[in-house]
Amino acid sequence: MTDQKKIIEIRDLHKSYQMGSTRVNVLEGANLSVRRGEFLAILGASGSGKSTLLHLLGGLDRPDQGRVLFEDQDLRDYKRGRLNRFRNRTVGFVFQFYHLIDEFNVRENVLLPAMVGKSVLAWLAGRSQPKRRADELIEQVGLEDRALHKPYQLSGGERQRVAIARALMNRPELLLADEPTGNLDSATGNSILKIFEQLNRAGQTIVMVTHDERIAQMATRAVVLVDGKTVERRVGQPS
Amino acid sequence: MYKIILPLRYLVNRRISLLAVSAVALSVFIASVVLTVMHGLVGDFKEKNHLFVGDCVVSTPSLVGFAYYELFVEQLEAMPQVAAVSAVVKSYGLFTMGDRHSGGVQIVGIDPIRHGRATGFAAGIHYHAGDLASLFEPGYDPNLPGCVFGIDRIFLKDDDGAYQYDPCVPHFGFDITCFPLTAKGALRGLGSVSSKRFYLSDVSWSGLARVDDHYVYLPRAEAQTLCGMGGRDKRINAIHVKFSEGVTPEEGTERVRDLWTDYRENRSGASLAYLMDTVTVSDWKRYRRASIAGMEKEETAMIILFVLVGITTVFIVFVVFYMIVTHKVKDIGILKSMGASSLDVMALFGGFACLVGLCGAALGLLGGWQFLRRVNALEDWLHEKWDFQVWDRSMFAIGDIPHDIEPSVMGAIGISAIFACLFGALLPTWQAARLRPIETLQANQI
């Protein structure tokens, strides 16, 4: 499944947060590399820094020390515009709490990354193609009859499907999922995981943060965050 | 495209946005109505003052007046910029009507035809409208010496502000008395007064309360005799000038001033030349400064009040936007996680502020326009139903409540409202743009 070529890599990553008067070190020299087509699960206890690691991989945050290399290029060297384009075209985020825009319907939410990436004029000139793509994705996640519904009219599972479709809108090379089933019941969570499985089978590189061991079983590789460092773990091996 | 769609949805779906629109609309409505009415009142008052004196006045504040005016009037009339000239005597006196009424009056001696051409005097004459040549001939006996009183001395107004004219000029006789002054400014003789009986020949309306209540117009020669300004070197107090079409009061006044300077120099050797030292040449605005300044101050005070209203609107918009941004931090995080830049976020909320301003301004201006269209009908209805009038027409010289919409004023109010919204939204928008996505998206930071 994997073509062995590294898509993203972190080297000696450090990140800390100020919590009141104390400084909390979250990542302390974490190393990791993700290969194209891989489904990587990042495991760890609550507060171990899983989400922080995901945000650093997606260029949403900057490390205190260490490097995040996307195709051997350090994200720190990216200028602001390039980093924005990286977030828009290269990565897709799926969040635990879906994070849909309440004012937009399903179709508009899915179209959002395409809208963000284009100026108004460019959008008006070529909107039919992204609309077709959005309709395909909505169909792929089984929400074709919900396309015009607003997020508040959807169940948790449906919202997460919309979030997945949205993350895939610009055909990202890397899909980053932050506990995508953490807010769902087990049956709904399983259906969401199946979508991720299918996507990975189709060649999509996925990095998923979870604290659920069962989910990690579905991944092709798993790492555990312990004391701010990543520890490689064989799939199927209990942590 | 989301920068257009999302602000529209925020506007429609968020009640708090409608609150901001309402605040802007209300401010714009109040500003448009009050400024239109105030602007109309001030404009009307200025126009009445302008019509009362003409475009330019050559005058002295001295009651003694100045001599040698005839030749200057001729020179003025020869100027291509000048359309009409009227030499006027002004003094103070007393009037008595039998033993019933008495009071102080301002005596104005005029040549009615010339004065009618130089000022708006002709339009305010009732019984001799279109026949100024016989203005000072009382209808009941043309041989009697006539006078024209300010209308408020003679007739009352009804509740609608209409004067209750008699069908014919009332047969009233007035003894008009004044103190004749020599060219040196002394009384003609110790304890001497001039007094003559005049008969009401007409009434004059200017729309200026002080004028319509205190002025009595007499034939100029009669006024000169009465005030001691007749004789060999006749004196007057003012020359009112009307300029030809296309000549502005400012440029015309400049030409008259130059002419007066030369004229005065040429006459410097004359025996009464010293009387010309106090003569000034002013355009109508400067000449009527004392009357107009009060109104202009009120207008300025009103504008200051509206600046305060504007500041309140800015504050309301600021609060509303602050709340909206606080509610919408999640959206900002979502957009930034998808590659939206800080500038995009600023454009989004800036566009929303513009939209709020635009809708508020449009609604306020529309409401103001509709209200102003109906303001007089509304006042009539209130008057009929509840006996309420904004301005008591029996007291104030106001016809309709001014309601002519000035597109430039409306435009300025609308644009100011949009800028006020942008200004009010500036800080929250800037804060929104500075938000880091992880601050807003992560339920648990670690």
Q: What Å distances lie between residue A186 and A94, A154, A193, CA to CA?
A: 18, 17, 10
* pLDDT score at B281: 95
Count the residues in chain B.
446
- Taking the C-alpha atoms of residue B236 and residue B418, their distance in angstroms, rounded to an integer, is 56
Q: What is the pTM of this model?
A: 0.71
Q: Are B25 and B317 in contact (CB under 8 A)?
A: no
Residue found under tokens 């003789």? B189
> Which of A81-95, B242-256, B323-337 is the least confident region?
B323-337
Identify the CA nearest to A205 among candidates A52, A68, A35: A35
The domain segmentation of chain A, as residue ranges, is 36-59+87-233
Q: Does A112 touch chain B (CB under 8 A)?
A: yes
- The answer to whether the Cβ–Cβ distance between A116 and B340 falls below 8 Å is yes
Q: Is the pLDDT of residue A183 over 80?
A: no
Please state, in angstroms and rounded to a whole number, the distance separating the CA atoms of residues B105 and B204. Answer: 14
Confidence band of A236 (pLDDT split at 50, 70, 90) = low
Q: Which residues of B403-435 are buried (b: 16+ CB within 10 A; e: fewer)?
A: bebeeeebeebbebbbebbbbbbbebbebbbeb
Strand runs labelled E in A36-171: 39-43, 65-70, 73-74, 91-94
Contacts of B9 in chain A (CB under 8 A): 103-104
Domain segments of chain B as ranges: 2-47+292-441, 61-278
Asked if residue B336 lies in contact with residue B427, where contact means CB atoms within 8 angstroms, the answer is no
Residue B278 to residue B151: CA distance in whole angstroms: 32
* pLDDT of the residue at A123: 77
- pLDDT bracket for residue B399 (50, 70, 90): low
CATH fold group of domain A36-59+87-233? Rossmann fold (3.40.50)
Indicate yes or no: CB of B338 within 8 angstroms of CB of A87: yes
Numbered residues of chain B with Cβ closer than 8 Å to any chain A Cβ: 1-6, 9-10, 13, 330-331, 333-341, 344, 436-438, 441-446
Question: In terms of CA atoms, which chain A residue is nearest residue B343?
Answer: A81
Q: Average pLDDT in the A225-237 region?
A: 75
Collapsed DSSP state (helix, strand, coil) of residue A46: coil
Choose the weakest-confidence range: A87-91, A117-121, B177-181. A117-121
Whole-angstrom distance, CA of residue A172 vs CA of residue A51: 19
- For B442, which of A51, A120, A123 is closest by C-beta distance? A51
Query: Does B5 contact A88 at a Cβ distance shorter than 8 Å?
Result: no
User: How many Cα atoms within 13 Å fall on the side-chain side of residue A85?
Assistant: 6
B8-21 pLDDT, tens per residue?
A: 888 888 788 888 89
Distance CA A149, CA A161 (A): 13
Mean confidence (pLDDT) of chain B: 87
pLDDT digits (tens, 9 = 90+) for B35-44: 888 888 888 8
**Higher pLDDT among residues B394 and B405, named by residue:** B405
Contacts of B443 in chain A (CB under 8 A): 96-97
Task: Specify the pLDDT at position B12.
Answer: 85
Place of tokens 């650093």: A56
Residue B135 corresponds to which tokens in the numbers above? 């203005």
Question: What number is the ipTM of this complex?
Answer: 0.88
| B182 residue type, one letter | T
CB contact under 8 A, A87 and B443: no
* A55–B341 CB contact, under 8 Å: no
SS3 A207: strand
Q: Which residues of B touch A103 (CB under 8 A)?
A: 6, 9-10, 13
Strand segments, DSSP code E, in B76-182 are: 82-97, 101-110, 146-150, 173-178
Of B10, B334, B446, the CB nearest to A49: B446
Query: Which of B329, B336, B430, B409 has the alpha carbon at shortest distance from B28?
Result: B409
Q: What is the pLDDT of residues B114-128, one digit of tens each?
A: 999 999 999 999 999
B2–A60 C-beta distance less than 8 A: no
CA B205 to chain centre: 17
- Res B176: pLDDT: 92
Q: Does A79 touch chain B (CB under 8 A)?
A: no
